[in-house]
Amino acid sequence: MPSVLIVDDEANVRRMVGALLTAEGYEVRDAGDGASGVTRAEESEPDLVLLDLMIPGALDGMAVLERLRKTFPDLPVIMMSGRAGLADAVKATRLGAVNFLEKPLTPEGVLLAMASALELRLARRERTALRADLGLAGELVGDSPVMHDLRAMIARVAVTDARVLITGESGTGKELVAAAIHAGSPRRARPLVRVNCAAIPRDLVESEMFGHERGSFTGATERRIGRFELAHTGTLLLDEVADLGAEAQAKLLRAIEAKEIERVGGGKPIRIDVRIVAATNRDLARAVRDGNFREDLYFRLNVLPVEVAPLRERPGDVSLLVRHFAELQRRKSGQTPPTWTDSAVQALARYRWPGNVRELANIVERLSILCGGRDITGEDVHRVLPPGSDGVSALALPDAEAPDVTLTDALDEYERLLIARALSAAHGVVAEAARRLRTDRPNLYRRMKRLGILMNHQR
């Protein structure tokens, strides 16, 4: 249940708006002056603040807004006033207000503004969670030449407003690069909103991207603000953009060219101002040649290409990354971290890392838990890495000179090892393993069943 703080010196406004929001299921608190409003917010951070501009007393609306923004940077604040001019609205927006409502208030206007503000708060939390999930806490770790080149490239492209296409294998940290580009841009104070194009059902892509009106289709019980609107004046990250279907590609192209969108079931276009950063682990140029991706959309997205190198091309960064992830694990668990011996770090540096930095983070976390309180050795590392991963890239095949090895058996074993390696790199996610093997998921399931690879983590 979202919590709302109403700060207004008019008791009637607090009572009427409070009753409206309570009926809609919100948890409502109120304050009659600026100082009390700040105090109540500090006692328990609300999800949203409705703040009157013309509050009498030592702290007027602008002063309260500044205080709230300093204490709660991601807290959305909606300003209200019946006597404010355009200059006041502009100043409030510059100070961080997400909307400005004129009095007398209407129930529809209040509820719509609040829905948009709460969607924005959700997007900001997702941005924070995205960085935490990456385990990188907003840092690009590494001192190798390729990392120096990547940082220099990020610095060059961040200050522009041009579209960026980030490419690289799964797990290299493309989302983190996108966050670094946003953080270095003039839009840094505005939202960074991520869309995982691979995770959206095809019949919901338009609703997810552009939003929908209540009743526009079965199940649309309320208005939804799409990701484009949430990212207005900020950055929109289109992750796994190669997974968009043909229809979604066409609609994305139109939105980019027209700089406007239309909600599903809506009757009027909505102007949007977003910087688009796209990311993919696919070869988009090849997808264009194969007819799976629109050439015109590819050229729109690929204005500034940024390539993220795989971890195997920067083995010298492994030791820095190990220390970094070990420290993050220590902060998360509160336990004394184990010591990583030279043999352990060397074993990690020799591994090819098909899952890249994300796979390394998982391995460090696993060994930190399993080997807590003692030194981690090279033998410990080899026990958790896939078989045959001691720096040799070739797969371990059956002995072809053995008298009882048939061609069918040898091919089955080779296929079994290929699938096992792909599943390991994809952390058991069958859809990702299928993409790595350049096949579809149903076909991979059939092959796994035939080969007896029935893993309990099929997803």
pLDDT in tens, 28-76: 999 999 999 999 999 988 999 999 998 988 899 999 999 998 888 889 9
Instruction: Please report, for residues 38, 50, 325, the alpha-carbon distance to residue 3 in angstroms, rounded to integers and kept in the order given.
Output: 15, 11, 35
How is residue 336 annotated by DSSP?
P
Six-digit token string for 360: 């390394």
Topology (CATH) of 312-384:
Helicase, Ruva Protein; domain 3 (1.10.8)
Q: Which fold has domain 395-459?
A: Arc Repressor Mutant, subunit A (1.10.10)
Identify whether the C-beta of residue 178 lies closer than 8 Å to the C-beta of residue 201. Answer: no
Q: Which of 9-18, 431-440, 442-451 has the highest mean pLDDT?
A: 9-18
Selection from 282, 206, 280, 272 nearest residue 245 by Cα:
206
Tell me, yes or no, if the pTM score tops 0.85. no
Candidate ranges 146-150, 187-191, 398-402, 439-443; pick with highest mean pLDDT: 146-150
Q: Which band of pLDDT confidence, cut at 50, 70 and 90, is reported for residue 131? A: low
pLDDT of residue 274: 95
User: Does residue 338 register a pLDDT over 80?
Assistant: yes
- Distance between CA atoms of 288 and 310, rounded to whole angstroms? 23
Contact 45, 2 (CB under 8 A): no
CA distance to 171, 219, 230, 356, per residue, from 168 (Å): 8, 37, 27, 10
CA atoms of 121 and 138, how far apart (whole Å)? 19
Q: What pLDDT does 456 receive?
A: 43
Q: pLDDT higher for 168 or 402?
A: 168
Fold of 3-121: Rossmann fold (3.40.50)
Q: Taking all residues of the chain, what is their mean pLDDT, rounded to a whole number?
A: 86
When pLDDT is averaged across residues 90-97 and rounded to a whole number, the result is 84
Task: Classify 155-308 by CATH class.
Answer: alpha beta
- Percentage of residues in the chain with pLDDT exceeding 90? 47
The answer to whether the beta carbons of residues 239 and 233 sit under 8 Å apart is no
3-121 and 312-384 share one CATH topology? no
The ranges assigned to domains in the chain are 3-121, 155-308, 312-384, 395-459
Distance from C-alpha of 287 to C-alpha of 282, rounded to nearest angstrom: 8
